[in-house]
């Protein structure tokens, strides 16, 4: 059994390990290696600005590029890095201020990914569990997550964290119009001893 990793706020000290993952073509962005190359360039150009953009609670900045190349407004969001002494992956949380609903172009409140050489250790399940208190703290009553029907590993990660299947759906055109599964994790307050 592997020790569980920490979720850390992206910082300069972690950047060399993060950029190593980017150099291998890994990216949390669904655009994959192309996005990894863009992120490496942004890190090289201005590391501080790159890191600041990963803690974007106001949803500021340039539009977000979807897998088909289309541009959409950026949502408020944060990213945390999965760390076990080196960079293992990332988990992101995004939201719409004052609402639990998301625009159609955003497939879920939470996205996560683990680098290939750290997979199979339970890191994704741990990271998802660790980001849920942050979602609760910003006032979300639940988080929605999506995955592909054949991604059994991702489905297990979500279910281990209390996720239940809401529905099968067809992804919007920017994501290829392929089948998807929508899950929801309730963030209802936990009651202990009659206190909230």
Supply 80's token pair: 């945390």
- What is the pLDDT at residue 4? 80
**DSSP result, 28-75:** SSTTTHHHHHHHHHHHHH-HHHHHHHTEETT--SSPEEPTTS-EEPPP
110 contacts: CB under 8 Å, gap ≥ 6: 91, 92, 93, 128, 131, 135, 143, 145
**DSSP result, 147-159:** E-TT-HHHHHHHH
User: What DSSP character marks residue 102?
Assistant: -
- What is the pLDDT at residue 191? 47
- What is the pLDDT at residue 70? 87
CA dist 166 and 146 (Å) reads 10
CA dist 67 and 104 (Å) reads 14
**Can you tell me whether residue 10 is helix, strand or coil?**
coil
- What is the pLDDT at residue 163? 97
Nearest alpha carbon to residue 143 among 134, 133, 135, 151: 135
Low-confidence ranges of the chain (pLDDT < 70): 1-3, 189-196
pTM of the model: 0.89
**pLDDT (tens digit per residue) in 162-172:** 999 999 999 99
CA dist 155 and 177 (Å) reads 20
- What is the pLDDT at residue 152? 95
């Amino acid at each position: 059994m592997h020790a569980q990793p920490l979720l850390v706020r992206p910082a300069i000290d972690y950047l060399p390990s993060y950029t190593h993952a980017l150099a291998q073509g890994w990216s949390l962005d669904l655009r994959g290696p192309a996005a990894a190359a863009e992120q490496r360039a942004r890190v090289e150009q201005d590391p501080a600005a790159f890191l600041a953009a990963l803690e974007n609670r106001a949803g500021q900045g340039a539009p977000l590029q979807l897998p088909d190349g289309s541009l959409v407004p950026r949502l408020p969001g944060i990213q945390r890095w999965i760390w076990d002494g080196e960079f293992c992956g990332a988990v992101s949380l995004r939201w719409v201020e004052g609402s639990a609903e998301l625009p159609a172009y955003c497939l879920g409140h939470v996205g996560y990914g683990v680098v290939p050489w750290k997979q199979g250790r339970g890191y994704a399940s741990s990271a998802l569990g660790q980001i849920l208190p942050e979602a609760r703290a910003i006032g979300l009553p639940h988080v929605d997550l999506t995955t592909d029907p054949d991604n059994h590993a991702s489905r297990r990660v979500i279910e281990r964290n209390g996720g239940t299947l809401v529905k099968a759906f067809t992804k919007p055109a920017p994501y290829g119009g392929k089948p998807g599964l929508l899950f929801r994790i309730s963030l209802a307050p936990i009651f202990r001893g009659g206190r909230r």
